[in-house]
Amino acid sequence: MTPRAPRMPVRAALLLAVLLASAGCTGPAADRPAEDRALLTEQQAELLALARFTNYRSAAGIVSATIPVPGRTLRLDGRLDWRAHTGYAELRDETPGAATHWRHLLRWNRTTVSARFNWTGPRPDKPPADGWNERLLQPRSATVDSTLILLLSLGSDRPENAQLLVRSSARVVGHEKLSGVPVTVFSGPGTDTGTGTGTGDVPATAAPSAPGTPGRTRYWIDADGGLRRFAARLGGSGTWMTADITRQPPPPTTPAASAPP
């Protein structure tokens, strides 16, 4: 019997499908219709398969994201812990011409988000001990919430299944440089049309998609499989959430205690 490919937990897979359900199909990178682009080579599939695992091995990363909210310009800057599935960041309104601009501190996990509203000083290195307002995340109706969950989803404790990626609708859509580093730009797999898993653009569960079905995510990946930028088209805004990511070194390992003499 052929072994089954690793899959995300069903709950997480279904949630990510909801986040991208109403997305469009054009991207922020140079793009052509999916049917005009060749299938991934094995080497390209391996590169895409490593992206989320590389983040997980790094444990944490710095993120700077632009979030598409109609009529507003929102920026999120902070850090992600892909092993603990938590984030801590500053969310600010940078809408040009707005009479006022607010800043909030956010900390979140995969189910809840807490905010310290109208923060005025620099973002503390550690979250303040009190003053937080907590609520459940609402990815079905809130673009910011969808973004928070997607950012945490960019870490996985195992590589994706490269063979499934080869058979999916994932494609290479361009080659660029980010801060002088060459990257390959991938369009993620489109919505699963044949297996009933409902996993959408999540590469870990990428089953063969219908020919020409474009993905609604983009991945800028360096030669080592490191994810440098991620983008997703969310909701009905018609624009893309784009996040630049800088991985942090993994935490040092604790030296083993020496044996007593």
Residue 252 pLDDT: 57
Model pTM score: 0.77
What the block records as the tokens of 250 is 């993994």
How far apart, in whole angstroms, are the C-alpha atoms of residue 74 and residue 98?
12
**Would you give per-residue pLDDT tens digits along the chain (261 residues)?**
434 433 433 333 334 444 444 333 334 544 444 444 678 999 999 999 999 999 999 999 999 999 988 888 999 999 999 999 999 999 999 998 887 789 999 999 999 999 999 999 999 999 999 999 999 999 888 999 999 999 999 999 999 999 999 999 999 999 999 999 999 999 998 753 322 222 233 333 233 333 333 468 999 999 999 999 999 988 665 689 999 999 986 655 544 433 333
Stated length of the chain: 261
How far apart, in whole angstroms, are the C-alpha atoms of residue 190 and residue 109?
26
Angle between helices 10-19 and 143-152 (to 10 degrees): 140
Residue 28 pLDDT: 58
Handedness of CA 14, 79, 178, 234 (dihedral sign): positive
What the block records as the tokens of 158 is 């195992």
Residue 30 pLDDT: 44
Residue 237 pLDDT: 57
How far apart, in whole angstroms, are the C-alpha atoms of residue 2 and residue 259?
45
Residue 251 pLDDT: 56
Residue 37 pLDDT: 61
Residue 96 CB neighbour total at 10 angstroms:
6
Residue 71 pLDDT: 84
Residue 15 pLDDT: 40
Nearest to 190 by CA among 37, 12, 41, 43: 37
Give the long-range contacts of residues 41-46, CB within 8 A, separation 24 or more. Answer: 41/166, 42/162, 42/166, 44/172, 44/184, 44/186, 45/162, 45/163, 45/165, 45/166, 45/170, 46/162, 46/225
What secondary structure, in 3-state letters, does 170-189 show?
A: CEEEEEEEECCEEEEEEECC
Residue 194 pLDDT: 29
Residue 173 pLDDT: 93
Nearest to 126 by CA among 81, 169, 88: 88
Distance from CA of residue 43 to its chain's centroid? 22
Residue 236 pLDDT: 61
